[in-house]
A = this chain, B = another copy of it.
Amino acid sequence: MLLEKGSKFVFIGDSITDYERARPVGEGRGTDIGKSYVGIVDGMIAASDPSSRIRVINMGTSGNTVLDLKARWDTDVMDLHPDWLSIYIGINDVWRQFDTPLMTEKHVSPQLFEETYRSLIERTLPTLKGLILVTPHFLELNREDPMRKRMDEYGAIVKKLAKEYGAILVDTQAAFDQFLTYYHPGFINWDRIHPNTMGHCIIAKAFLKALEVE
């Protein structure tokens, strides 16, 4: 496993990550870590190697775009002093362009997305032992669908940044795409965004593989 024993591992993101985590910090007993892939990644790491003592913290917040991450980066990332950090953002940056197309002040352009994302990485990278970037996903196989097309554009930015900064990439879009050759997106969820338990397992599996967990 890539993570050093005793590492503190923070996950930041939107509702995919959040899924009812505790406030203000998503860590503790019971379901404080939320019900998303974060808890499954945490549980599977501990089940694989309980000696690793990885401390996992869920800092996802539903509805967030990269701009929202920026606004809470100090308290929600820097103040926690993570060793490892996972960033899973971009879905709402794209989605608002399609579900509320006339409220243009809520849209985040690719330029603003990249620039803001980059600034977050640059602030944080020097303090980290490991950084994971996650592609935003849309459960739609048709790459000509306008929203899928747009999501791919943002995913390409994430991939570019991962390469540029030597971060580990977790390509959830690719993981879902493979799955969707066998099932219609509605098997995961009607809205093609929020995963059910099966969807969170698909994400978790992609993480575990990227982290080289047994």
Give the interface of A toward B (CB within 8 A).
Answer: 27-31, 33, 35, 39-40, 42-44, 46-48, 50-51, 53, 55, 95, 98-103, 142, 144-147, 175, 178-179, 181-184, 186-187, 190-193, 196-202, 204-205
User: Within the oligomer, what is the number of copies of this chain?
Assistant: 8
Q: In the complex, which of the residues A48, A145, A199 has the most CB atoms of chain B within 10 Å of its own CB atom?
A: A145
Known contacts A29-B99, A99-B184; 19 further A-B pairs (Cβ under 8 A)? A28-B103, A29-B100, A31-B196, A40-B40, A43-B197, A43-B199, A43-B200, A43-B201, A46-B198, A47-B179, A50-B183, A51-B182, A98-B186, A98-B187, A99-B187, A142-B142, A142-B144, A147-B184, A191-B191
Q: Give the residue of B27, B44, B196 whose beta carbon is less than 8 angstroms from that of A29.
A: B196
18 contacts between A and B (CB under 8 A): A28-B103, A35-B197, A43-B198, A43-B199, A43-B202, A46-B202, A47-B202, A50-B182, A53-B101, A55-B103, A99-B190, A101-B183, A142-B144, A146-B184, A147-B184, A190-B190, A190-B191, A191-B191
Contacts of A29 in B (CB 8 A): 99-100, 196
